[in-house]
Structure 1
Amino acid sequence: MITVHHLNNSRSQRVLWLLEELGLPYEIKPYQRDAKTLLAPPELLAVHPLGKSPVITEGITTVAETGAIVEYLLERHGGGRLQPTPGTPEHLRYRYWLHFAEGSAMPPLLMKLVFDKIAASPMPFFVKPMARAICNKALDAIVWPNLKRQLDFMEEELGKSEWFSGRELTGADIMMSFPLEAAAQRAGLNDSRPRLMAFLKRIHARPAFRRALERGGPYALVD
């Protein structure tokens, strides 16, 4: 049996969605973030040394990192589903977007989250203007230009096909869901990029996605 060590409001929601798309039996071991720090609880350290989610276990096998989990599940249980035929141009695009999601799309989103939190954190009144100025300068000079460039790139790429690697949903689209949901919540993704917004509407309407939400519990990145 596959066990998903599932942290609320996290990347592990994608793993539940993938398992629902594949129709695989699984169980969930839920964990809750610390209410103040929003970090994962120390109980996850017993599952993986980094103490982060997502992690899955299957028998004696433990797999961490969302991309690695997606590849493991598709290779072991996919039977060719949710990935293009190896050696095709679609498979190359699939592999690119599978790794783009965490390797390129997430870093500027995390930087924005960190700078926003710093600017909003309690601090002495005489320090706050300087801290906010530094955060705003970093956002304007580095973070926002990167976010715009990436969102424009993704919008253009979805003009080539309905899904990121072709005409069918793949694991790459499941991987890309989290950064795009995060961008829609806190990084300016809106109807000015209609293809990306249509992509989010398509995935949110999928029965497997809705089932994953029901099993995984509240997920703040989806309205």
Structure 2
Amino acid sequence: MITVHHLSNSRSQRILWMLEELGVPYQVRRYERDPETMLAPASLKEIHPLGKSPVITDGDLVVAESGAIIEYLANTYGKDTMLPAGGGQQWLDYTYWLHYAEGSLMPPLVLRLVFQKVKTSPMPFFIRPVAKGIADKTTATFIGPMIKTHLDFVESHLAKNTWFLGNQLSAADIQMSFPLEAAVARGMVGDNRTHITAWVERVHARPAYQRALEKGGKYDFA
């Protein structure tokens, strides 16, 4: 049986959702973040040397990294439901969105979070105005415009497509869920990107997604 090594409020929630969509039996082993650092516990390193979630075990196999896990599950259990039929442009689009989620969209979202943390982290009082100024300037001139470009791009695509490959849910949607949920939850999408908001609402309305939430526990982005 598949075991999902699941960290609360993490990318592993989308792995639970995919397994629920596939109807594949699995069990959840929960891990809690350190309340001070918000990092994963050291016990995750017993499963994979990097000690990060998500990781799954399927028999003797250990699979880490969200994209690799989703590809493995799609190719092993979801060829008829989670993958585009045949090759051609639709297969290239599937591959694109699968890699775009973490390779292009997620980095500026993480950078934004890091620079927000810089402004609130403990530091000598005389350093705080300098740190805040650098963080604000970097966000305004570099990170913010980059996020806008990406969200406008995704909004334009979803204006013409119900799901990322058209009218049917695929593994690409599973992979795209975490960054778009995070963007909506953190107020980055705004009122003018209605198609991203509607897509996230469609995701959250799916029965499989609701079952995954019940099994995964706390998840602020839902």
- Tell me if both proteins adopt one fold, taking TM over 0.5 as the criterion: yes
Alignment of structure 1 residues 93-108 onto 2, 5 Å: 93-108=93-108
Distance in 2 (CA, whole Å) between partners of 1:185 and 1:216 is: 18
Could you say which residue in structure 1 is the equivalent of 2:71?
Answer: 71
* 1:160 positional shift: 2.4
CA contact (8 A) 1:147 1:187 kept: no
Could you say which residue in structure 2 is the equivalent of 1:148?
Answer: 148
Alignment of structure 1 residues 1-223 onto 2, 5 Å: 1-222=1-222
Distance in 2 (CA, whole Å) between partners of 1:31 and 1:91 is: 35
* 1:192 positional shift: 1.1
Distance in 1 (CA, whole Å) between partners of 2:68 and 2:217 is: 23
Post-superposition CA distance 1:86-132 (Å, at most 9, x none)? 31322211111011000001000000010000111121111000000
CA contact (8 A) 1:6 1:31 kept: yes
Given the two structures, how large is their TM-score scaled by the length of structure 2? 0.98
Distance in 2 (CA, whole Å) between partners of 1:187 and 1:175 is: 20
CA contact (8 A) 1:57 1:63 kept: yes
* 1:159 positional shift: 2.1
Distance in 2 (CA, whole Å) between partners of 1:64 and 1:49 is: 10
CA contact (8 A) 1:109 1:187 kept: no
Post-superposition CA distance 1:132-189 (Å, at most 9, x none)? 0011111111100000000000000112211111110001111111001111122521
CA contact (8 A) 1:90 1:166 kept: no
Distance in 1 (CA, whole Å) between partners of 2:90 and 2:187 is: 29
| Structure 1 unmatched ranges of 5 or more | none
Moved more, 158-167 or 26-35: 158-167
Distance in 1 (CA, whole Å) between partners of 2:169 and 2:191 is: 22
Q: Which runs of 4+ in 1 moved over 4 A?
A: none
Distance in 1 (CA, whole Å) between partners of 2:54 and 2:31 is: 10
| Partner AA of 1:175 in structure 2 | Q
Alignment RMSD? 0.9
Q: Secondary structure at the match of 1:57?
A: strand
* 1:41 positional shift: 0.2
Aligned length: 222
* 1:191 positional shift: 2.3
Q: Secondary structure at the match of 1:27?
A: strand
CA contact (8 A) 1:4 1:54 kept: yes
Given the two structures, how large is their TM-score scaled by the length of structure 1? 0.97
Moved more, 134-143 or 48-57: 134-143
Distance in 2 (CA, whole Å) between partners of 1:200 and 1:171 is: 15
| Partner AA of 2:130 in structure 1 | M
